[in-house]
Amino acid sequence: MRLFIAVLPEPDMLRALTDAQNALRRNEFSGKYTEMRNLHLTLTFIGEYSDADAVLEQMEQIRFRPVKLKLSGYIGNFGDLLWAGVEDAPELERIVRQLRHTLAEAQIPFDKKRFHPHFTLLRNAQSRRRFAEIPVRRESMTLRGISLMRSDFGKHGAAYTEIGRVGAMP
């Protein structure tokens, strides 16, 4: 199974993200848009790993309080991948450090790239226009849980399925 741990956007944030995608479309950006049902913020990418229960056990070790997340209001990029950024949230970064620590102690492999919180909007982006001029509504949400996700690839692209969730402390 291809696994990752993510934050799923609440409805208002999801609308802000799809509005940003629609603005990109109106500005003639082409490429592979992330389907609405697949929009997420990756906390830790695990990759191919067969024991989802072991990952969930480690996720349950993490203790965190609800965290306020807010879109930064701009679109950024990693090469031809366009994303909506999230404002700095030290508590979110603490959650990621805890996740990585507990996964490492359990010898569960994960991608060790620097954490840069974002929602991927468009892959293989192409346009003659500047994406930086397209605003993203600065919507916010309260993170109350993190999800273990499975990624399956089919003839219509990737489909992400939540296979477990761990909630914040009250």
pLDDT in tens, 81-114: 999 999 999 999 999 999 999 999 999 999 999 9
Sign of CA dihedral 163, 43, 1, 13: positive
Please state, in angstroms and rounded to a whole number, the distance separating the CA atoms of residues 47 and 1.
8
pLDDT at 27: 93
**The pLDDT of residue 156 is above 80:** no
Nearest to 23 by CA among 9, 37, 33, 11: 33
The full set of domains in the chain, from first to last, is 2-167 (3.90.1140.10)
pLDDT in tens, 37-69: 999 999 999 999 999 999 999 999 999 999 999
